[in-house]
Amino acid sequence: MAGGAVLNAGGGKDYPGKLTMFVLLACIVAATGGLIFGYDIGISGGVTSMNPFLQKFFPSVYHKEQEAEKNQSNQYCKFDSQLLTMFTSSLYLAALVASFFAATVTRVAGRKWSMFGGGVTFLVGAALTGAAPNVLTLIFGRVLLGVGVGFANQSVPVYLSEMAPARLRGMLNIGFQLMITVGILAANLINYGTAKIRGGWGWRVSLSLAAVPAAIIAVGALFLPDTPNSLIDRGHTAHAKRMLRRVRGTDDVEEEYNDLVAASDESKTVAHPWRNILQRKYRPQLVMAVAIPAFQQLTGINVIMFYAPVLFKTLGFADDASLMSAVITGLVNVFATFVSVFTVDRLGRRKLFLQGGAQMLACQVVVGALIGAKFGFTGVAEIPKLYAAVVVFFICAYVAGFAWSWGPLGWLVPSEIFPLEIRSAGQSINVSVNMLCTFIIAQAFLPMLCKFKFILFFFFGAWVVVMTVFIALFLPETKNVPIEEMVLVWKAHWYWGRFIRDEDVHVGADVEMPAAKLANI
Ligand code: BGC
């Protein structure tokens, strides 16, 4: 064995190698897959608050809004239209279904082809929605956008986690979330500009510009190398070894290579990833693949992301000021994500989850109380400027808390906890649960706001309590642990350990994991 691995402080092994330019560039290009998802999240809310768009596709919503404005009627119920929310959320249903197909492409053809497919489909969707003559084309275009998102979100996080050296995996993986936030911000800024276009076709510009991030990831994917894990799994062992040397920037890759081969051999014994994922020994990963994305959405973040302009309008801001406030939350979202980029591999995932959860909860309680105190249950009030500014401040602090915890970790943690044999399937479950919950919240938010009023903020706050306790009890720390060795972390966990028999633990390594070290993870 040349050189070889040593145990690091986190309890995982450090393979030889450094962060090479090659890996960094590959990860930056792959992470741009997050742009399409982000652009879409950011564009929908703004477009659905543009009057010409509403007049053309959703005239009944438009009239209701005009009426409400004239009559000063209940602010909470102004924008409640199932058809309008269907526009926003059709994409998430499509992404949900698509991610299952993406699992096969990602496993059989390699991660990059899922990214490429996602980019191209999104491109067609952008053209269709931008040029849509009627509501049917519009929704069909949205479905194609959703398919693109499903493929990208299924493949990009896995790609990043496989490419990255273990001790920088968090940082490189969070590139994906960073691109999501950049996409959201870009969309917010574009909406701000296009809303001012006099001819009433600004929304077409907003929707068509989705083609830009789509082209970036589609073209970028063509140049991406495959991950060594995927190459080995598909039988290209010699190529895989060359690639591993290249990505790690050293010839001393024997140990890691052997571990990857062992993981792949193990995965070959599994004929049906979908059935296998239900086995008892995978229970911890399965629970996380469902719970983490569901909780991520139950933070209520997309209420802000989709409906920030609408929400700010509800608070009595003028059109322009509403879009501007959405830009402000978008900026906070991007910059706060950097906090996790630089701390996730040092502080670890758990600390960020717990701190972010506490911050979000505090802000939700304050925002709920402030809105409740002004609007009460009738929803009719004039809000003074300063008061509204304080609300916006707490909304920003809430977004920041999300941006360094559940935002990035909601994609990072599921992508790093699965053994190879169920990784693609597991990631599809993660994406589809995320999309399902996004869909439900997008669809339910406006009716819920209308019914529960400011209590809604407390509703999401209660979920944040639940998820924070869940993390504290059930999520082991995964920082610095090589991805093919993760089973050791589960085996050492006070609760999950009982699901994994001793004979289920093979990591193809010749290093014993001392119990004392594992106890510290
Ligand atoms: C979530 C999205 C959310 C975004 C906000 C992502 O991690 O999956 O639903 O809109 O973060 O930045």
Residue 40: both structure tokens together: 């879409």
Choice from 43, 177, 181, 306 to test ligand 1 binding pocket (greatest atom count within 8 A of CB):
177
CA of 305 relative to ligand 1 center, distance in Å: 8
Which pLDDT belongs to residue 506?
A: 72
Residue that is written with structure tokens 């300063």 in the block: 386
Of 236, 209, 214, 211, which is closest to residue 225 (Cα–Cα)? 236
Of 268, 303, 290, which is closest to residue 421 (Cα–Cα)? 268
Ranges of residues in the chain whose predicted pLDDT is under 70: 1-14, 17, 68-69, 71-76, 78-80, 271, 309-310, 314-315, 319, 379-381, 507-521
What is the number of the ligand 1 atom nearest to the C-alpha of 293?
Answer: 8
Could you give the C-alpha distances from 474 to 112, 335, 356, 501, 518, in angstroms and in order?
33, 29, 17, 18, 15
With H, G, I as helix, E, B as strand and everything else as coil, classify residue 14: strand
Distance of CA 114 to the CA centre of its chain: 17
- Angle at which helix 319-343 crosses helix 406-417, to 10 degrees, equals 40
Cβ atoms within 10 Å, residue 475 = 22
Could you tell me whether strands 6-7 and 13-14 are parallel, antiparallel, or unpaired per DSSP bridges? antiparallel
**In sequence order, which residues have a C-beta less than 8 Å from that of residue 57 and are 6 or more positions away?**
87, 132, 134, 135, 138
Which pLDDT belongs to residue 411?
A: 95
Residue 512: both structure tokens together: 């014993």
* pLDDT digit string, tens, across residues 64-117: 778 766 765 566 676 667 777 778 788 999 999 999 899 888 888 889 999 999
CA atoms lying within 13 Å on the CB side of residue 443: 13
Give the closest residue (by CA) to ligand 1 atom 11.
Answer: 407
> Could you give the CA distance from residue 99 to residue 306 in angstroms, rounded to a whole number?
22
CA of 302 relative to ligand 1 center, distance in Å: 7
Of 482, 103, 38, 445, which is closest to residue 289 (Cα–Cα)? 103
Residues near ligand 1 with C-beta < 6 Å?
41, 177, 180-181, 184, 296, 301-302, 305, 333, 407, 410-411, 434, 438
CB distance 86 to 446 below 8 Å: no
Give the closest residue (by CA) to ligand 1 atom 1.
Answer: 407
Of 467, 179, 144, 503, which is closest to residue 298 (Cα–Cα)? 467
Of 146, 158, 163, 148, which is closest to residue 118 (Cα–Cα)? 148
Residue that is written with structure tokens 């990208």 in the block: 152
Give the closest residue (by CA) to ligand 1 atom 9.
Answer: 302
CB distance 15 to 248 below 8 Å: yes
Which pLDDT belongs to residue 9?
A: 43
Give the closest residue (by CA) to ligand 1 atom 7.
Answer: 407
* pLDDT digit string, tens, across residues 222-268: 999 999 989 998 989 999 999 999 988 888 888 889 989 888 887 77
